[in-house]
């Protein structure tokens, strides 16, 4: 199994989910099958796994990687915002556990034709599902300077969003953005890393721009909330969900979802008598987040920014 398929925080996920022989689990981002393989081994001999992924290539890779588990595996090409409907359609409800491993996988980054990499000699597509939606280059072509700046500031938390958006629009007008490498060069020229700055020597100057465009193209923030809601509905009482996120926007959404669903009344400010009718459905299994240890980070660079949150559905 190459680095592109190394599952992050896999032991922590398996322990936190408390699954065993016969458990029914959904992997909402099955990718290359890294977490799925360990889940199927843990739930042997009768446990079942439902694997979803918005990326057709990921489904094909998971089918190959998980072939030895036979009919214990059901794979579907679908965005995880549809987890409840897919789980119902495949007869997987109720589930004992659900796993989300968010963000970009290493094998997607390594595919030169997808345009995720700064060095890719291909148009910046950046779609997980290449059959639907706008590509990143189409989003750039259709967005105004102000709209681009908003995307970079909101989804990339880029402090120099205005300057970068202006440079991208100028380069677009001159026909200088053909490949992902072209886009990265435009961003790096507009906002080079500052010597001695917090990010000096650690990340490429275009990291936040590429992140923002990818999130916007794939509607990652929007579908995450829908996926969490669907996963909660598909879980049995006492079932658990584990979510691994890689940047603050994702983690903030997961944290707020767990906090909201752990309360009876969600009115703000809290009234003397609750009228919203909401009832708590979750409890956090751990206080705060779980992060990777130094040995895992040494083996797998993707684990550096990983944050795991786990919650249990109330009876």
pLDDT for 46 equals 94
pLDDT interval class at 315 (50, 70, 90)? confident
Each residue's pLDDT tens digit, 18-44: 999 999 999 999 988 999 999 999 999
Using the 3D structure, point to which of 176, 199, 217 is the last residue of a domain: 217
Each residue's pLDDT tens digit, 247-264: 899 999 999 999 999 998
Using the 3D structure, point to which of 176, 192, 217 is the last residue of a domain: 217
Bridge partners of residue 240, in order along the sequence: 97, 312
Sheet with 73-77, edge to edge strand ranges: 73-77, 48-53, 24-27, 95-101, 235-245, 307-313, 282-284
* Nearest CA among 126, 132, 46, 121 for reference residue 81: 132
User: What is the average per-residue pLDDT within 217-224?
Assistant: 94
Query: Which tokens hold the place of 233?
Result: 């509905």
CA-atom Rg of the chain in angstroms: 20
Q: How far apart are CA 262 and CA 145, in angstroms?
A: 41
Q: How far apart are CA 208 and CA 151, in angstroms?
A: 10
Q: Same structural domain for residues 198 and 287?
A: no
The widest CA-to-CA distance across the chain, in whole angstroms, is 61
Q: Give the domain extent around 247.
A: 3-107+220-313
* Nearest CA among 215, 188, 183 for reference residue 199: 188
pLDDT interval class at 198 (50, 70, 90)? very low
Asked, for residue 25, whether it belongs to a domain, the answer is yes
Q: Same structural domain for residues 58 and 152?
A: no
Q: How far apart are CA 65 and CA 82, in angstroms?
A: 23
Percent of the chain with pLDDT over 70: 95
Each residue's pLDDT tens digit, 270-290: 788 888 888 999 999 999 999
The CATH number given to whatever domain includes residue 147 is 1.10.150.170
pLDDT at 107 over 80: no
Asked, for residue 175, whether it belongs to a domain, the answer is yes
Is the Cβ–Cβ distance between 55 and 114 less than 8 Å? no
Using the 3D structure, point to which of 193, 217, 241 is the last residue of a domain: 217
Asked, for residue 18, whether it belongs to a domain, the answer is yes
pLDDT for 193 equals 67
The angle subtended at Cα 229 by Cα 223 and Cα 234, nearest 5°, is 120
pLDDT at 194 over 60: no
pLDDT for 5 equals 57
Pick the more confident residue, 300 or 75. 75
pLDDT at 199 over 60: no
Contacts of 77 (CB under 8 A, 6+ apart): 52, 53, 54, 56, 59, 129
pLDDT at 52 over 70: yes
Length of the chain counted residue by residue: 315
Q: Same structural domain for residues 252 and 179?
A: no
Angle between helices 220-234 and 248-261 (to 10 degrees): 30
> Model's pTM, two decimal places?
0.90
Look over the chain and give the mean of its residue pLDDT values, rounded to a whole number: 91
Q: How far apart are CA 279 and CA 269, in angstroms?
A: 16
Each residue's pLDDT tens digit, 127-155: 999 888 999 999 999 999 999 999 999 99
Each residue's pLDDT tens digit, 58-81: 999 999 999 999 999 999 999 999
Pick the more confident residue, 315 or 6. 315
Q: How far apart are CA 27 and CA 241, in angstroms?
A: 10
Pick the more confident residue, 119 or 85. 85
């Amino acid at each position: 199994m190459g680095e592109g398929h190394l599952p992050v925080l896999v032991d922590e996920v398996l322990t936190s989910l408390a699954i065993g022989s016969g458990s029914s689990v959904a992997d909402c981002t099955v990718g290359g099958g890294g977490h799925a393989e360990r889940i199927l081994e843990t739930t042997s001999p009768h446990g079942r796994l439902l694997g979803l992924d918005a990326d057709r290539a990921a489904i094909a890779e998971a089918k190959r990687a998980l072939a030895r588990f036979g009919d214990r595996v059901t794979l579907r090409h679908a965005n995880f915002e549809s987890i409840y409907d897919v789980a119902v359609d495949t007869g997987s409800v109720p589930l004992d556990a659900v796993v989300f491993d968010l963000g970009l996988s290493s094998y997607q980054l390594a595919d030169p034709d997808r345009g995720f990499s700064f060095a890719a000699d291909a148009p910046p597509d950046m779609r997980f599902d290449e059959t639907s939606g706008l590509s990143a280059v189409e989003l750039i072509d259709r967005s105004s300077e102000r709209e681009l700046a908003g995307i970079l500031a909101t989804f990339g938390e880029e402090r120099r969003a205005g300057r970068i958006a202006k440079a991208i629009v100028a380069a677009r007008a001159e026909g200088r953005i053909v490949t992902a490498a072209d886009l990265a060069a435009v961003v790096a020229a507009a906002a080079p890393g500052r010597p001695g700055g917090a990010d000096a020597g650690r990340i490429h100057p275009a990291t936040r721009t590429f992140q923002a465009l990818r999130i916007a193209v794939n509607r990652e923030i929007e579908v995450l909330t829908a996926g969490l809601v669907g996963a909660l509905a598909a879980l049995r009482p006492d079932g658990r969900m584990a979510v691994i996120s890689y940047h603050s926007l994702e983690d903030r959404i997961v944290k707020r979802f767990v906090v909201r669903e752990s309360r009876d009344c969600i009115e703000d400010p809290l009234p003397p008598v609750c009228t919203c009718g909401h009832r708590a459905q979750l409890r956090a299994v751990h206080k705060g987040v779980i992060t990777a240890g130094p040995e895992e980070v040494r083996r797998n660079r993707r684990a550096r920014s990983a944050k795991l949150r786990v919650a249990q559905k109330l009876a």
